[in-house]
Amino acid sequence: MSDEPRALLRRLLEAAIASAKPAHCLPPHLPAPPAGRTVVIGAGKAAATMAQAVEDHWEGPLEGLVVTRYGHRVPTRAIEVVEAAHPVPDAGGRAAAARILALAEGLRQDDLALCLVSGGGSALLTLPAPGIALADKQAVTGALLRSGATIGEINSVRKHLSAIKGGRLGVACHPARLVSLLISDVPGDDPAVIGSGPTVPDPTTFADARAVLGRYGIAEPAGVIRHLERAADETPKEGDPRLAGAETRIVATPAMALAAAAAVARDAGYAPVVLGDALEGEARDLARAHAALAREAAPGTLLLSGGEATVTVSGAGRGGPNAEYALALALALEGAPGIFAAACDTDGIDGTEDNAGALVTPETLARARALGEDAGARLAANDAYGFFAALGDLVMTGPTLTNVNDFRAILVGSVGR
């Protein structure tokens, strides 16, 4: 088999990631310096590289604190970087969030709060509401992640268990000028969902959060259920005067990443077709639908898609939604000739694993059978990681230090180059 399709798929992924690198996308959106202090706060997998980009392009004094995932720190001069756990929060994230809230509460009218938010910010910016134990937040987060709930549903619960998310950090910044710079990792690029919207009004309610837990049969921890039923302190809503002057600028999106990959594909002679940048649903269901489209596509077509697939975990295997998509795609394609695919998370971390995703080739199933691998059994066990590890077809990028969520590319046939 020629390595050319594999190499092209890797170039497409690299182009998508490069488009969302903070050093590239953030500087044009920086506001003018204030008369008073500039305090940088934020959270997310890209928070450290976003802070670094601010420092490299800012004129005047800076201070602040951001929290990022373990292993995602980069050198900064004036802005402190703290690492914490993701996707299930830990005490490090709670301590960092408390310090960030305190910084916000100390701002004055002539100061600027520059808030940097990217994917992962919701788990990293963890400050439980009064009466909620960190262990309870950890338990409900884990249950939601296993349930197949969408990111919007998960974040509606998170916001109503938090003392800092869902606009509360923005309220704390008042009366300072507040500018939020966001890297979107969510379908639809809704600022209220990115990182659980710490600086923007929250359209969801306690009733919405209760409905999500009910929808997925999550009835504990008891402290969480009591807090949501009490509904004592609703998140700030549209029209709240404390958020009236706040500005929100989205500096990178999944659509931008797909456009960058499409440009590379055109240069290689392929005709890109973007299926959507905000696709949601079970990874295996998306894969089956995309396999049908790939079988019908003309040679020289590239099918691109983004968004956030989910996995309802019933087995004991390893693997995130991108590897599960890739395995389900391979099964649905059944070795169809000339079709190659990659499914990866642009942050370099598929779910909680160390791979970004996986590659599919026309020989995937045949090679698996030769190794004694049962693709169907692996999928049933949610063990796509083990399947592709056996084939040597995991995509390993390491942390990319940005995040515009899932990237899926299917090459159909060749272009005779």
Structure tokens belonging to residue 152: 């919007």
Q: What span, in angstroms and rounded, lies between the C-alpha atoms of 233 and 188?
A: 27
Q: What span, in angstroms and rounded, lies between the C-alpha atoms of 122 and 328?
A: 29
Are the beta carbons of 133 and 161 closer than 8 angstroms? no
What confidence tier does 415 reach under pLDDT thresholds 50, 70, 90?
A: confident
**Average of per-residue pLDDT values in the chain:** 96
Whether pLDDT at 417 is above 50: no
How much is the pTM? Answer: 0.93
Are the beta carbons of 376 and 307 closer than 8 angstroms? no
Are the beta carbons of 322 and 348 closer than 8 angstroms? no
The partner residues of 340 in beta bridges, in order of sequence, read 411
pLDDT in tens, 107-142: 999 999 999 999 999 999 999 999 999 999 999 999
> Which DSSP symbol is given to 86?
S
pLDDT in tens, 339-388: 999 999 999 999 889 999 999 999 999 999 999 999 999 999 999 999 99
Q: What is the DSSP string of 251-283?
A: EE-HHHHHHHHHHHHHHTT-EEEEEEEEEEEEH
Q: What is the DSSP string of 104-160?
A: HHT--TT-EEEEEE-TTHHHHS--BPTT--HHHHHHHHHHHHHHT--HHHHHHHHHT
Are the beta carbons of 171 and 242 closer than 8 angstroms? yes
The partner residues of 177 in beta bridges, in order of sequence, read 112
Domains (ranges, CATH) in the chain?
4-16+255-412 (3.40.1480.10), 31-252 (3.40.50.10180)
Per the rule left: phi > 0, alpha: psi between -120 and 50, beta: everything else, 333 is alpha
Sheet holding 112-117, edge to edge: 79-84, 63-69, 38-43, 112-117, 177-183, 247-252
What is the number of alpha carbons within 13 Å of residue 96 lying toward its C-beta?
28
* pLDDT reported for residue 416: 58
Q: What span, in angstroms and rounded, lies between the C-alpha atoms of 172 and 164?
A: 9
The residue written with tokens 């390893």 in the block is 318
pLDDT in tens, 19-46: 999 999 999 999 999 999 999 999 999 9
